[in-house]
Amino acid sequence: MTPRSSHPRPFALSGRAKAGVLLLVLYTVYAAAQLDFSWARFESGMGHASTFLARMFPPNFEKPATLWKGIAESLEIAVLASVLGILFALPVGLLGARNLMPAWVSWPARSIVALCRALHPVIVAILFVKAVGFGALAGILALTVASIGFIGKLFTEAIEEISLKQVEAVRATGASFANVLAFGVLPQVFARFIGFATYQFDSNLRNSTMVGIVGAGGVGGTLFSAFQRFDYDFVSAILLTLIAIIMLGEILAGFVRAVFLDNLGFDRILQGRFAGARGIGSSASKAAYQAARKAEADQ
């Protein structure tokens, strides 16, 4: 009789892991009890929800001026906040990359990004409402801070994951720091940066409604007023319009990603324009471009 070989089970949990799972289960039960999380309360709430939904339909589109004024303001807030956030996040992301910058430069830049991400946009909007007053300006500033935090963090991480072979090849030509960024760094991360930016615009479009509820402009204020008036059919009209606009924004964002991310050679177009631009079309920058292309081909 051959002895049965013992094979370790791939998903076997250690004693510490089992203790951790047990503690998690116990704390989940404790939290549910503390927060009055019960099936009876959920069932009662669903009964009220059915009455609430019945009052929301059919939607009331008889106030188009009020509706579209709020929607237009939300779109303007989202666009301005996205543009400002991108403009600030690009240099902050570059300065925060630890593989390109010394610690005394990258640490403050990363601290700025962490600070921008520390608070929810609604909390930041409340602070700006207190600082600059009610209106769209508070919403723009709040979503700009959120955009810097999100795009700056992801852009920094993308730069830290690039291949340094292309960067070193450009440096070996004697190129300036600007040319190193243009030909060694930016082409490797530009497509991802476009993806981050389009996602953040989509997020700002949704968040512009939330910040409006606290008085920072946009259709959120209109939505909150409709709730206070128990004007639920107008609430459903606002929500359906928001859903349609966000879906349209998702389609446009997908188109932008397809243009920049789906292997259409945009990095080569970008580099060619950099190389031909005034003040950059020198022999050193052309050599940097050729070195970058060679390093990319060798990978």
**Span 227-248, pLDDT tens digits:** 888 888 888 888 888 888 888 8
Q: What is the per-residue pLDDT for 282?
A: 47
Q: What is the per-residue pLDDT for 281?
A: 45
Q: Choose which CATH entry (2.160.20.10, 3.90.640.10, 1.10.3720.10, 3.40.50.620) describes domain 62-298.
A: 1.10.3720.10
Q: In this predicted model, which residue has the larger pLDDT, 251 or 128?
A: 128
Residue 118 in this model has a pLDDT that exceeds 50:
yes
Q: Which residues of 19-43 are buried (b: 16+ CB within 10 A; e: fewer)?
A: eeeeeeeeeeeeeeeeeeeeeeeee
Round to whole Å and give the CA distance between 280 and 271.
11
* Segment 139-146 mean pLDDT: 92
- Mean confidence (pLDDT) of the chain: 79
Confidence at 83, pLDDT banded by 50, 70, 90: very high
Q: What is the per-residue pLDDT for 10?
A: 63
Round to whole Å and give the CA distance between 175 and 284.
6
Residue 100 in this model has a pLDDT that exceeds 50:
yes
Q: What is the per-residue pLDDT for 299?
A: 52
* Segment 65-91 mean pLDDT: 89
Residue 115 in this model has a pLDDT that exceeds 50:
yes
Give the distance, in angstroms, between the CA of residue 205 and the centroid of all CA atoms in the same chain: 11
Residue 145 in this model has a pLDDT that exceeds 90:
yes
Round to whole Å and give the CA distance between 7 and 72.
64
Q: What is the per-residue pLDDT for 295?
A: 52
The pLDDT tens digits of the residues spanning 206-221 come to 888 888 888 888 888 8
Q: Which residues of 66-75 are buried (b: 16+ CB within 10 A; e: fewer)?
A: ebeebbebbb
Domain ranges for the chain = 15-55, 62-298
Q: What is the per-residue pLDDT for 278?
A: 35
Q: What is the pTM of this model?
A: 0.75
Q: In this predicted model, which residue has the larger pLDDT, 16 or 270?
A: 16
Residue whose pair of structure tokens reads 């990978």 in the numeric block: 299
Round to whole Å and give the CA distance between 128 and 212.
12
Q: In this predicted model, which residue has the larger pLDDT, 147 or 192?
A: 147
